[in-house]
């Protein structure tokens, strides 16, 4: 019956696809992204052992090898990890694996240990682990978040008695608590790392709470704390950049003053400015992703707090209020440092433009002076050329008259009644005029377009 229904559904789907143009290559992937990370089904009372590790340098193959160490998962195919989310059912518990860009989350959903419910005083939650003792420490990566989330049934009508039980469960230490979903459950935590390295959270829900609702509550609380810690990873970076930014800003102010007072050569200023620009750009390249990620994680924290729809419990502070009051200054510090770095980069660019303008102006002045020198040189060359040209006319005329004198002497020697000297002297003006006229015609031809 089921197979026939599946066949008919597939046939109907194929028929509907036949009415459409061919699918885009990413259509199915983008459509299924909506269901890529479904909420777990958690049956109360339950304990969730949650560990988030940074996955830089950790491959999927390493995570796959670690997941195969779970009982009954030796045949787990590697392809099952390509979707970034995997839920494995083991004997009496569930293990969820979820890979993100910077971290990977592991969640072991198991029954709540006996004696760990309401009324217990700081119970031991890891006294009877369902996974092998070395499985959690062997998770590849470095721990960024570790939480023991206990989810129990309780009567929400008696707020005073319920809060007294919750305080005893945390060993009498100060806690923050909220009513979730406008009152359908309670969430209590202390935001402290215990000696075992875990934080503790307690969710109290009335009997009849569905597995889906419990799963959504756990997912929001676990994501809230994980994103908070990931957002805070930008704070040490911002603090470390503070001294460098202060030094760079002072150095830039000094460069600007020297540029204004013209107390240093352009080459010295350029060398100093290039070195400063390289430092700033290196810091930007190294930390811009961290600052962008911090903004994204901070936005997710705010979104998850909104999704909790908190209501106050008398005598305690809301989870979201407690978190935002302590997270907001850190996020403001990161945002201010990122803005400071970007502003410094812009100021270095403007100073570089000013220095470049100064160098361009100096270059133009030098070019103008060079052109003036070239112009004066050309004028001198023209004068010299005119002088040489006059001498050339005289020299050419001298040679022509000499030739005519020799011709006259030749005629005289031949018996012609000619006085060579008188004839040559008479022809000197004509020769001078002829040579001058010939030179002028040559100049006119050269200058003609």
Mean pLDDT in order along the chain per 10 residues (449 residues): 43 56 80 68 92 94 94 90 88 92 94 88 83 92 95 88 91 91 90 91 92 92 94 94 90 82 73 84 91 94 92 90 90 93 87 74 76 78 68 76 79 78 79 78 70
Is residue 18, in this structure, part of any structural domain at all? no
What would the two tokens of residue 163 be? 């809060």
Task: Identify whether residues 241 and 149 lie together within a single domain.
Answer: no
Q: Cβ(44)–Cβ(151) under 8 Å?
A: yes
Task: Give the integer Cα–Cα distance in Å for 321 and 59.
Answer: 37
Q: Cβ(238)–Cβ(332) under 8 Å?
A: no
Task: Identify whether residues 49 and 197 lie together within a single domain.
Answer: yes
Q: What is the three-class DSSP state of 446? A: helix
Instruction: State the pLDDT at residue 389.
Output: 66
Task: Identify whether residues 286 and 397 lie together within a single domain.
Answer: no
Is residue 70, in this structure, part of any structural domain at all? yes
Task: Give the integer Cα–Cα distance in Å for 380 and 254.
Answer: 48
Task: Identify whether residues 263 and 332 lie together within a single domain.
Answer: yes
Instruction: State the pLDDT at residue 177.
Output: 93
Q: Cβ(287)–Cβ(237) under 8 Å?
A: yes
- Confirm whether pTM is higher than 0.85: no
Task: Give the integer Cα–Cα distance in Å for 261 and 246.
Answer: 23
Instruction: State the pLDDT at residue 26.
Output: 80
Task: Identify whether residues 80 and 171 lie together within a single domain.
Answer: yes
Can you give the residue range of the structural domain that contains 438?
A: 386-447
Task: Identify whether residues 287 and 188 lie together within a single domain.
Answer: no
Is residue 2, in this structure, part of any structural domain at all? no
- Which among 342, 360, 378 is the end of a domain? 360
Task: Give the integer Cα–Cα distance in Å for 418 and 406.
Answer: 12
Task: Give the integer Cα–Cα distance in Å for 233 and 327.
Answer: 12
Is residue 421, in this structure, part of any structural domain at all? yes
Residues linked to residue 359 through DSSP beta bridges, in sequence order = none
Q: What is the DSSP letter of 257?
A: H
- Which among 214, 247, 271 is the end of a domain? 214
Task: Identify whether residues 269 and 415 lie together within a single domain.
Answer: no
Is residue 28, in this structure, part of any structural domain at all? no
Q: Give the CA count within 13 Å in the CB-facing half-sphere of 431.
A: 19
> In total, how many domains does the chain have?
3
Task: Identify whether residues 188 and 243 lie together within a single domain.
Answer: no
Q: How far is CA 50 from CA 43, 148, 214, 221, in A?
A: 16, 6, 15, 11
Handedness of CA 427, 432, 436, 439 (dihedral sign): positive
- Which among 360, 375, 402 is the end of a domain? 360
Task: Give the integer Cα–Cα distance in Å for 53 and 75.
Answer: 24
Is residue 209, in this structure, part of any structural domain at all? yes
Task: Give the integer Cα–Cα distance in Å for 243 and 227.
Answer: 28
What backbone torsions phi and psi does residue 331 show, to the nearest 5 degrees?
Answer: -65, -35
Task: Identify whether residues 251 and 197 lie together within a single domain.
Answer: no
Task: Identify whether residues 78 and 151 lie together within a single domain.
Answer: yes
Is residue 16, in this structure, part of any structural domain at all? no
Task: Give the integer Cα–Cα distance in Å for 152 and 204.
Answer: 5
Task: Give the integer Cα–Cα distance in Å for 83 and 66.
Answer: 17
What would the two tokens of residue 265 be? 């050569």
Is residue 261, in this structure, part of any structural domain at all? yes
Task: Identify whether residues 276 and 192 lie together within a single domain.
Answer: no
Task: Identify whether residues 175 and 266 lie together within a single domain.
Answer: no
Q: Cβ(75)–Cβ(166) under 8 Å?
A: no
């Amino acid at each position: 019956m089921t197979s026939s229904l599946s066949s008919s559904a597939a046939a109907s789907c194929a028929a509907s696809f036949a009415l459409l143009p061919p699918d885009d290559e990413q259509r199915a992937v983008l459509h299924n992204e909506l269901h890529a990370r479904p909420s777990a089904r958690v049956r109360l009372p339950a304990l969730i052992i949650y560990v988030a590790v940074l996955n830089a340098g950790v491959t999927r193959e390493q995570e796959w090898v670690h997941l195969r160490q779970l009982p009954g998962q030796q045949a787990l195919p590697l392809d099952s990890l390509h979707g970034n989310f995997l839920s494995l059912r083991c004997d009496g518990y569930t293990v969820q694996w979820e890979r993100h860009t910077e971290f990977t989350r592991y969640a072991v959903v198991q029954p709540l240990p006996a004696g760990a419910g309401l009324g217990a005083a700081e119970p031991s939650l890891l006294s009877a682990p369902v996974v092998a003792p070395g499985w959690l420490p062997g998770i590849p990566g470095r721990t960024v978040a570790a939480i023991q989330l206990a989810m129990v049934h309780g009567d929400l009508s008696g707020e005073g008695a319920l809060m007294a039980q919750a305080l005893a469960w945390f060993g009498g230490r100060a806690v923050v608590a909220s009513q979730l979903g406008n009152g359908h459950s309670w969430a209590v935590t202390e935001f402290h790392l215990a000696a075992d390295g875990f934080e503790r959270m307690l969710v109290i829900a009335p009997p009849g709470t569905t597995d889906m609702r419990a799963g959504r509550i756990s997912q929001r609380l676990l994501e809230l704390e994980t994103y908070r810690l990931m957002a805070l990873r930008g704070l040490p970076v911002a603090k470390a950049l503070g001294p460098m930014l202060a030094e760079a800003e002072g150095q830039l102010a000094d460069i600007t003053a020297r540029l204004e007072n013209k107390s240093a050569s352009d080459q010295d200023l350029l060398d100093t400015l290039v070195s400063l620009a390289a430092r700033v750009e290196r810091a930007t390249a190294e930390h811009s992703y961290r600052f962008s990620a911090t903004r994204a994680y901070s936005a997710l924290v705010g979104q998850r707090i909104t999704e909790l729809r908190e209501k106050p419990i008398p005598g305690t502070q809301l989870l979201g209020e407690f978190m935002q009051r302590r997270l907001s200054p850190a996020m403001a510090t990161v945002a201010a440092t990122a803005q400071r770095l970007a502003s410094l980069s812009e100021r270095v660019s403007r100073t570089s433009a000013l220095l470049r303008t100064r160098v361009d102006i100096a270059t133009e002045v030098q070019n103008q002076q060079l052109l003036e020198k070239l112009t004066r040189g050309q004028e001198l060359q023209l004068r010299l050329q005119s002088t040489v040209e006059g001498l050339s006319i005289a020299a050419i005329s001298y040679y022509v008259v000499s030739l005519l004198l020799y011709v006259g002497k030749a005629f005289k020697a031949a018996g012609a009644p000619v006085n060579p000297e008188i004839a040559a002297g008479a022809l000197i003006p004509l020769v001078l005029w002829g040579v001058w006229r010939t030179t002028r015609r040559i100049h006119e031809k050269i200058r003609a377009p």
